[in-house]
Amino acid sequence: MKILLTGFEPFGGEPINPSWEAVKTLHGYRGRVEALQLPCVFDLCLEQLGSRVREVGPDVILAVGQAGGRAAISLEKVAINLNEARIPDNAGGQPRGTPVVPGGPTAYFSGLPLKRLTARLQDSGIPAELSYTAGTFVCNHLFYGASHLAEQLPRPPRVGFVHIPYLPEQAARHPGSPHMALSMLTEGLKGICDELIAGGEEMEEIDAIAGTTH
């Protein structure tokens, strides 16, 4: 089981991005994980991901992104074929109502056993939740684009996306914002990787109730 774990560079005026701060600590973990930093730029992030995927040939692509305002590690269920940028990306791009992949499917679902992974984190005392919106910024763009890329490959990797909260030092600049310590974020990502490695190529889902009412 080979996992390509990605995080983003800082964006939106933040000096750090918790996704990369956590992801980079897992480079080489158990000899199965490769960490990759991606630019917070539409299209360019997919170009760089595609190049690395073709070089590495991972079994799993697990992308991680910052979600300021969220209090838990959020395992994303769905990526939609829509770019709608409230703020510019790091290259100044601000697409409005464009598709990630022209002519592509409306959406892709995560290829990972999200209920199983969420339960693993919760059982470890780490706040975790299933999420049904990855937004419409570069995170969703990457999640959708990676899923589309996977379908074009001879041996498609499974694709997933995880949003994580601010670090405490970020939350200090955003009064009232929830946050999570880097050590807990790192342990959460380790737990996800451990569960994926243990599950192997099958990675069966568990039978559990999930969903939201709004």
Residue 57 lies inside a defined structural domain of this protein: yes
Mean pLDDT of the chain: 96
pLDDT tens per residue, range 18-39: 999 999 999 999 999 999 999 9
DSSP secondary structure string for all residues of the chain:
--EEEEEEPP-TT-S--HHHHHHGGGTTGGGTEEEEEE-SSTTHHHHHHHHHHHHH--SEEEEEEE-TT--SEEEE-EEES-EE-SS--TTS---EEE-SSTT--SEEE-SS-HHHHHHHHHHTT--EEEES---SSHHHHHHHHHHHHHHHSSSPPEEEEEEEPBPHHHHTTSTT--B--HHHHHHHHHHHHHHHHHHTTT-PPP--------
Q: Is the pLDDT of residue 203 over 80?
A: no
204 within a domain of the structure (yes/no): no
**Taking 90 as the threshold, does the pLDDT of residue 213 lie above it?**
no
Catalytic residue positions, numbered = 76, 139, 163
Specify if 208 maps to a domain. no
Q: What is the CATH number of the domain that holds 92?
A: 3.40.630.20
Q: Which domain holds residue 86?
A: 3-199
Structure confidence at residue 53 (pLDDT): 98
Q: pLDDT for 111-158, tens place per residue? A: 999 999 999 999 999 999 999 999 999 999 999 999 999 999 999 999
Please tell me the total count of domains within the chain: 1
Q: Which amino acid is it at 173?
A: R
What is the predicted pLDDT for the residue at 127?
A: 98
The more confidently predicted of residues 130 and 204 is 130
Indicate the pLDDT class of residue 169, thresholds 50, 70 and 90.
Answer: very high
Q: Is 98 a domain residue?
A: yes
Confidence tier at 74 by pLDDT (50, 70, 90): very high
Residue 205: inside a domain: no
75 located within any domain: yes
Per-residue confidence at 209, pLDDT binned at 50, 70, 90? Answer: confident
Q: Is residue 112 part of a domain?
A: yes
Q: Which residues pair with 108 in a beta bridge?
A: 79
pLDDT bin (cut points 50, 70, 90) of residue 208 is confident
Q: Within a domain: residue 183?
A: yes
Q: Tell me what pLDDT residue 55 has.
A: 96
pLDDT for 198 beyond 80: yes
